[in-house]
Structure 1
Amino acid sequence: MSSEDISTTTVFVQDWLCFDNILGEGAFGEVKLLINKRTQEKIACKIINHDKYKDASSQINREVVIHKTLDHENIIKFFGRRQEPSKEYLFLEYAEGGELFQLIEPDVGMPSGSVQLFMKQLLCGLKYLHTKGITHRDIKPENILISAEGVLKISDFGMATYFRFKGKERWLDKKCGTKPYLAPEVFLRPYRAEPADLWSCGIVFVAMLTGELPWSLATDENAEFNQWNNDMYILNTPWSKLGYMALSLARKILQVDPKKRLTLDEIERQPWMHVHFNAEAPEEDTVDGTSEPRCKRYNSMVAEETILNREKPTVTLSQPNSSLRQSTIMQTVKTTSNDHLCFSQPTQNDNWMVQFTQSPITKDNFDNLIKRMTRFYVSMTKERTMETLCSILDSLHLTWSVDVNRAVSITTTDSLKNQLIFKINLIEMDKKILLDFRLCKGCGLQFKRKFLKLKEYFINN
């Protein structure tokens, strides 16, 4: 196994190891996992390369200024930062459950009980932000993480800003965020921060229940949005998949006029938010008359144990005591220096305090990888798996390349005509090959559709 293999680890500093496998990517860098060899504590490290992203500095500074003031169970914790001449490291809470979109089955969604719990936690975290005068401005499933215990965590404050200071509110005029989740008033400007964030929550609500996004843009030029705005949507998806109570709530959150839109407190008081959902019982009847329990309609390609976990979620409304030792983490932040830190193998054998260990991934240490539903096994050699994968990508006319870490990177567009970039890592594990798909840029639901299509082609080859 070569040093390029993604299962290798790097000694970060002292007792901390860095897993070379990337947890995720953002606009200005990537996120990797750090784990303490003695205590097994885990933290996420966001790495920003300022040589590569020249304009990152001011945005990162703003993100840090806001994030370090936050302390809430439904918001990813910020532990500290370390700045080097060309790189910067942000130390964050590790959310082992991965992104929320991983739990949303395309065109199906999630069980209503899970959606209700996640909505309560999302609103709880957002209420805390708004109370502090902060707006997130990019609420979407890709920026919502889930802890190992099933607790929702709002993440990525790169677009966040203050909208209220000393009780005085200011209107915003910057159009930022992700297009399908943006409120219609954001395109018109200026706009109020709180209603705009709540609109984004409404889109997340619909996506969780139906596995679909209602439109690509909330503007008059968009046909789907026009149908919604003119009450001509009832027979169309995703609305036809919603029960009456859920549809009523969606209509009140996605009210085009921000003055008529429900406030956060009003959303929490809505009847749907207080329904007792039983995973063993059928869901409420849908508009199209379907009474079959949603849990019976899950795509058969999803692993059986994953379905079981989603039908009986372990989500809680409060966060358990963190096992992370703040002093240990801060020691890591403070002792990291540019003389003792490297994430790639040095070309010269100088006095670098960096070592490489080649530890193959097995079922015993697989938990050190982020949990994803977008992965599957094949019983082939690594070489044969790569040949088959590349052949399928060519047959689908997808643009692909192989990077320095032997990951296959695919660049394409989704059904909404937006750019979609994702990577596929081939991991040798237990005499099989695990194909691990990771979203780099674009919509999580569209990414999962591509994943399912590629998986189907792979299985049929």
Structure 2
Amino acid sequence: MGTDFVEDWTIVSTLGEGAFGEVKLLVNKTTSDAVAMKMIDLEKHPKASENVQKEICIHRMLNDPSIIRYYGQRKEGHKEYIFLEYAAGGELFDRIEPDVGMPELIAQKYMRQLMSGVEYLHKKGVCHRDLKPENLLLDANDNLKITDFGMATIFRVRGKERPLETRCGTLPYVAPEVLKRPYRAQPVDIWSCGIILVAMLTGELPWDKPALDCPEYHKFREEQFPSFSPWNKIGNMALSLIYSILKAEPEKRATLDQIHKNRWMCHTFTSNDEKTNCPGSPKRKCYGAGFIDDVDGKICQSQPESLRVSNINDVATAVTHNTNDIISFSQPTHLDDLLLSTQLHFTQSPVNQNHYQKLVKRMTRFFVNTNWETTVQQLCDYFDKQSFKWSINSGMVTITTMDCRNMQLVFKAHVLDMDGHILVDFRLSKGCGLEFKRRFVKIKQHFQNIIVKGAIDTLWLVPTK
């Protein structure tokens, strides 16, 4: 099934890669429990040591339903391991339809949970500093969890607050004062939450960066924005909340208490609600299921979705001293590769929940009626026409391009032959989640003639016996 890490625990997938290391998925062979493991090679990345220790220190302080759970850490030789809760529901950005967003009912739920998590962090004296949909995960019950504390810092100790100096974050989400420095901690996280709400409601980011040399931000500051996208997609009630959050002066920005009491946050939405007074808003669908300056980089990217999580033993204490076989390039690096290497079949209902792990339904995959070779060739032809750079290795096509902000965007297409059923599965590797989704939508539209309509995209993994 994968590479043995310790007794009964197997590495079955690489979940993400970052500047300093990787995130692996560990699964217990007996119980099917799952845990995410950050693995950092300090010999290759000696500058990461301080960041890792800071992240571990912060994780140890936190215990809240809105924060990804920390299980422990282990150091073996020059490798550092951090064990975290595995979020089965994937990343929040995967629930945001590009240029459309999500229903207000769902956005309000996530916003409430996000603000609850941020409030908890700030009470603990922790500032996240890189809040964005890619760093917000969903558990098996569709509850939001904040993750990726690689840029977080402690801003208050024994009641004394310190100003922050490090210019860090992701440009479209950072507060304007971060670009100037110094800045207060709490308002910058609140600002990022406002941008996240815009993204959830509209499927767009309002600007490239919050600086007056950015035309979109300048229009916003001059209050010339109401008739422009994305603002004309937002109802008056939500727009009032967003405007109170996105105040350029931190001292005028809405506080957590004011946000909790806001009319939009307290309103009772129903699934039939449509926003009023926003003629530019497109019809929405309901789905069931970087910038770093003065910082050496992020330890890892946040996790994509996959196996359902149940209670897990303390893996951190079970690590042995034999780590020679942890990384194996012959092993599957993504869960769909793992699916291919085990017994895979399609079903509309689980046979036995004790022995099956459900893969989360996602928007960025489809089945096609062409064979493997034809599918790969058509994909590569399309990427050539789009002037995308691409490379292929073992059925995985890695695509590199630039997004609308002239930032690098890297995503991967896995073409998997499953007993005659060809699955094309796209996953973000680096860059903006919304830009990735826009690319996927265009790719899917281009291949409409070979996509199998109504195909089941929820697969079941049968562990090897």
The normalised TM-score by structure 1 is: 0.85
For residues 341 and 245 of structure 1, do their structure 2 counterparts lie closer, same or farther at Cα, with a shift above 3 Å needed?
A: same
- Taking the aligned partners of 2:330 and 2:425, their CA distance within structure 1 comes to 27
Corresponding position of 1:401: 391
1:12-411 matches, within 5 Å, as 12-20=5-13, 22-279=14-271, 281-288=272-279, 297-298=284-285, 307=286, 309=288, 323-325=310-312, 328-330=313-315, 333-339=317-323, 341-344=325-328, 358-363=341-346, 367=357, 369=359, 371-403=361-393, 406-411=395-400
Q: Which amino acid letter does the alignment assign opposite residue 198 of structure 2?
A: V
Deviation at 1:366, TM superposition (A): 8.5
Q: What percentage of aligned pairs have identical amino acids? A: 47
Secondary structure at 1:185 match in 2 = helix
What is the distance in 2 between the residues matched to 1:368 and 1:58? Answer: 37
CA separation in 1, counterparts of 2:280 and 2:11?
52
1:323/1:289 Cα in 2 relative to 1: closer, same or farther (>3 Å)? closer
Cα offset, 1:335, TM superposition: 3.0
Amino acid at match of 1:284: K
Task: Give the conservation status (yes or no) of the 8 Å contact 1:13–1:341.
Answer: no
In structure 2, the partner of 1:425 is 414
Q: Which amino acid aligns with 1:334?
A: A
> How high is the TM-score relative to the length of structure 2?
0.84
1 CA distance for matches of 2:205 and 2:163? Answer: 27
User: Which shifted more, 358-367 or 91-100?
Assistant: 358-367
Aligned-partner Cα distance in 2 for 1:153–1:371? 18
Secondary structure, counterpart of 1:449 in structure 2: helix
Deviation of 1:367 after TM superposition, in Å, equals: 4.6
8 Å Cα contact 1:411/1:421 also seen in 2: yes
Shift in alpha-carbon separation, 1:289–1:129, aligned structure 2, 3 A: closer
Do the aligned residues in 1 keep the contact of 2:95 with 2:287 (CA within 8 Å)?
Answer: no
Q: 1:443 aligns with which of 432, 445, 458?
A: 432
Deviations 1:214-234 (A, max 9, x none): 000000100000000000001
Task: Give the Å deviation of 1:339.
Answer: 4.6
Deviation per CA, 1:185-240, whole angstroms, max 9, x where unpaired?
11111110000110000000000000000000000100000000000001001100
Post-superposition Cα deviations, 1:345-365, rounded to whole Å, max 9, x if no partner, equal 699xxxxxxxxx941443479
Return closer, same or farther for 1:216/1:458 CA change in 2, 3 Å cut-off.
Answer: same
Q: In structure 1, list runs of 5 or more residues that go unmatched.
A: 1-7, 299-306, 311-321, 348-356
1:303 corresponds in structure 2 to none
Please state how far the C-alpha of 1:128 moved relative to its aligned partner.
Answer: 0.7
Distance 1:269 1:41 in 2: 39
AA of the residue aligned to 2:90: G
How big is each residue's C-alpha offset from its partner over 1:246-295, in whole Å with a ceiling of 9 and x where there is no partner?
A: 1100100001111110001110000000111110x2323132276xxx7x
Kept in 2: contact 1:46–1:90 (CA 8 A):
yes
1:88-111 Cα offsets, whole Å, 9 max, x none, are: 322110101100000000000011
Shift of 1:11: 2.8
Q: 2:192 and 2:171 mapped to 1: Cα distance? A: 10
Residue pair 1:205, 1:250 contacting (<8 A) in 2 also: yes
CA 29–369 in structure 1, closer or farther in 2 if over 3 Å, else same? farther
**Match of 1:362, as an amino acid?**
H
CA distance in 1, matches of 2:361, 2:78: 31
Amino acid at match of 2:380: C
- Secondary structure, counterpart of 2:252 in structure 1: coil
Shift of 1:162: 0.7
Deviation at 1:341, TM superposition (A): 4.4
Per-residue displacement from partner, 1:386-417 (whole Å, max 9, x unpaired)?
111111111111011124x5421111111121
CA positional deviation for 1:9:
2.5
Q: Distance in 1 between matches of 2:33 and 2:70?
A: 15
Partner SS for 2:187 = helix
Q: Conserved in 1, the CA contact under 8 Å of 2:411 and 2:428? A: yes
Contact 1:96 1:371 in 2 (8 A): no
**How far is 1:23 from its partner?**
2.4
Give the residue type in structure 2 aligned to 1:234. Answer: P
Corresponding position of 1:314? none
CA RMSD of aligned residues (A): 2.4
Does the aligned pair in 1 maintain the 2:5–2:319 contact within 8 Å?
A: no
Question: C-alpha separation between the residues in 1 aligned to 2:181 and 2:408?
Answer: 25
Cα–Cα, structure 1 residues 236 and 339, in superposed 2: closer, same or farther, change >3 Å?
closer
> CA separation of 1:341/1:360 partners in 2, compared to 1, >3 Å: closer, same or farther?
same
How far off is 1:420 after superposition?
1.0
Deviation at 1:434, TM superposition (A): 1.4
Does the CA-based 8 Å contact 1:243-1:285 persist in structure 2? yes
1:360–1:429 contact (8 Å) kept in structure 2: no
Q: Call closer, same or farther: CA 1:377–1:346 in 2, change over 3 Å.
A: closer
CA distance in 2, matches of 1:360, 1:428: 13
Give distance in 2, aligned partners of 1:182 and 1:221: 15
Question: Cα 1:269–1:52, aligned 2, differ >3 Å: closer, same or farther?
Answer: same
Cα distance in structure 1, aligned partners of 2:238 and 2:54: 37
Answer whether contact 1:26 1:440 (CA < 8 A) is retained: no
Does structure 1 conserve the Cα–Cα contact (< 8 Å) formed by 2:70 and 2:83?
A: yes
Task: Give the whole-Å Cα distance in 1 for the aligned partners of 2:261 and 2:200.
Answer: 20
Q: What do residues 396-454 of structure 1 show as CA deviations (whole Å, max 9, x unaligned)?
A: 11011124x54211111111211111112222335212112111111100110011112
- On the 8 A contact 2:136/2:145 being kept in 1, the answer is yes
